[in-house]
Amino acid sequence: MFIKKEDLIIQRPNPSLNVNKRQVEYDRRYIQYRKDLDRFHVEIEMIMRLLEVRKGQRIINIGGGVGFTLYEVAGFGTECFNVDICPGDPKFVHEMAKHYGLDIKSMQGDSCALPFGDETFDSIYSKDVFEHIWDFEKGMNEQIRVLKKGGHLLILVGNLINPKTFYRMFVKRFIETRGKAGGLRWLLTKHKAVFDFGIGWHGKDEDFKTTFWWKRKMRQFPELQTLLITTTRAHARPDRLINRIFRPFIGGIIILAKKKEQ
């Protein structure tokens, strides 16, 4: 175990710094994660275990949002970096990290043009980000470039053929927006980059893929050794027969790779 549940940063009181408008999103997720603390703890443990996190490492989170996983990874004693294209998020994370006394450097930037030298980081991870990156190949190549040889790259993304995810995007969003989003409009255009989402960034609209797609795409990057491509529920409970049978369809997707030494 990397972090005891009682030692999680999220267990501390919400400081409500009101740095900017992103406080609303932080408050919403703070309540959500506190209600299901066991699940949040399991996710943090999974990220740190897959990345083989050790104290003193330099770790970068691509698209860290309002910073929940960043705070926990940094709280373990690592030097963390956050690059997010969304205006407001980097400033929010910077102030929260300062309040908690965490070593996090947070900046606005494009994942397809990372402002770092080659082989800078011991590990790289992202959660719910790659489905929005406007150029998949550029995004992958940039992460490979700044990753040290032997370092781990972890990607957590949505799963197109998860029935719950597909229903949420195709049906529920269509109904909630009265046809303005979701449905066939989403399904046919999700792979296209949009240059204004109304909050100052461009990317794709929940361009979820499948485990089969990821297995095929990862072969395009010979610098990486793919260690794991599976779904979250199958990874959490591999002993369950139903999880083995329906593995491609249950939960989000985990992609774990290691940069080859040579």
3-class secondary structure per residue, 174-188: HHHCCCCCCHHHHHH
Tens-level pLDDT at each residue, the chain (262 residues): 789 999 999 999 999 999 999 999 999 999 999 999 999 999 999 999 999 999 999 999 999 999 999 999 999 999 999 999 988 999 999 999 999 999 999 999 999 999 999 999 999 999 999 999 999 999 999 999 999 999 999 999 999 999 999 999 999 999 999 998 999 999 999 999 876 665 566 789 899 999 999 999 999 999 999 999 999 999 999 999 999 899 999 999 999 999 999 7
The percent of the chain in helix, strand and coil, each rounded to the nearest 5, is 40, 20, 40
Q: Is the whole-model pTM more than 0.85? A: yes
Q: Write the DSSP string, 7-34.
A: G-GGGSPP-----STTHHHHHHHHHHHH
Residue identified by tokens 């490492």 is 57
Secondary structure of residue 133 in the 3-state scheme: coil
Classify burial at 217, counting beta carbons within 10 Å of its beta carbon; exposed 0-12, middle 13-18, buried 19 or more: middle
The sign of the torsion formed by the CA atoms of 33, 92, 146, 122 equals negative
Residue identified by tokens 């443990």 is 45
**Which tokens in the block code for residue 169?**
């995007």
Order across the sheet with 79-84: list the strands: 104-108, 79-84, 58-62, 121-127, 147-157, 253-259, 224-231
